[in-house]
A and B are shown apart, each in its own frame.
Chain A
Amino acid sequence: MVKWTEEERCIIRGVWEKVDIDEVGAQLWARALIVYPWIERYFGTFGDTFTTTAILNNPKLAALGKIVLAALDTAVKNMDNVKGAYASLSRVHYEKIKVDPEHFRLLAECITISIACKLKAELSPQVLSTWQKFLSAVVEAMSSQYK
């Protein structure tokens, strides 16, 4: 279980409340697919994901981005037991969707960068450090059922 100080909780919530799920979510997967094109392997049923233009305008990707951030909201609200909150999600990603957990790490990086675009200098080194500690816990929870 990850331990959070009161200050860390404040920082994480402070970052999260500035994130517009619709806005950031819509572009999240576009960024991930453009930066890490090999994750296209999961998107065979998403229509055109092969050119930058198609990726930026793909409605299924936009919808999925919002779903992912809604799940992240669950993690923010269950900071003291992300592992428990994400157990079945982890299992589904392992057994059904067969996602390489390295890609949780890559997506987390894209989330951070998207947030950096929004928060700019507010994402000070200390805030960034705490936010990334939180995302590491999320990634670990997502990887927890891979056994």
Chain B
Amino acid sequence: MSLTAKDKETVKAFWAKVAPKAEDIGQDALSRMLVVYPQTKTYFAHWKDLSPGSAPVKKHGATVMGGVADAVAKIDDLTSGLLNLSELHAFTLRVDPANFKILAHNILVVFAIRLPNDFTPEVHVAVDKFLAAVARALSEKYR
């Protein structure tokens, strides 16, 4: 399921529309994840406030989307491009890779909510493949 040239073009074009709202989308996706998948809260014991739209959630949502933006720029070689992030997640954060899929799903949901006309099935499949590829690259250093 690797990214075709068409997938990459689709992702880049869609990202141009996402970029201006990226922080907001990130905050929304993260907020939803913490509510709908309460087990993900186990990774954020150090946050005072885990409620939707709280300060730490906002900040982290922006951080996550910054990472996704970086991945879009490095879409032609995600494995090497995301090496540092992979090491961070594997050795320091130690987030179970199963959670990448959970967060990706919430990001897709928010894309659909915020950009309903642009998030067509064709865009959906390319972005889903892209986020899966990002997850794979992030998992690279785990073992």
Contact = CB atoms under 8 A, between A and B. Distances in A.
Interface in B23-53: 38-40, 42-43, 45
Interface residues of B, number: 15
Contacts of A147: 38
A36 B98 CA distance: 12
B90 interface: yes
Interface string A35-54: 11111110000000000000
B94 A94 contact: no
Nearest to A98: B42
Summarize A's interface: helix, strand, loop or mixed.
helix
Contacts of B6: none
Given A36-B143, A37-B143, A101 B94 contact: no
A102 interface: yes
A106 B97 CA distance: 12
Interface of A: 35-41, 94, 98-103, 106, 143, 146-147
29 contacts: A35-B143, A37-B142, A37-B143, A38-B90, A38-B94, A38-B96, A38-B142, A39-B96, A40-B94, A41-B94, A94-B39, A94-B42, A98-B42, A98-B45, A99-B42, A100-B39, A100-B40, A100-B42, A100-B96, A101-B39, A102-B39, A102-B96, A102-B98, A102-B99, A106-B96, A143-B39, A146-B38, A146-B39, A147-B38
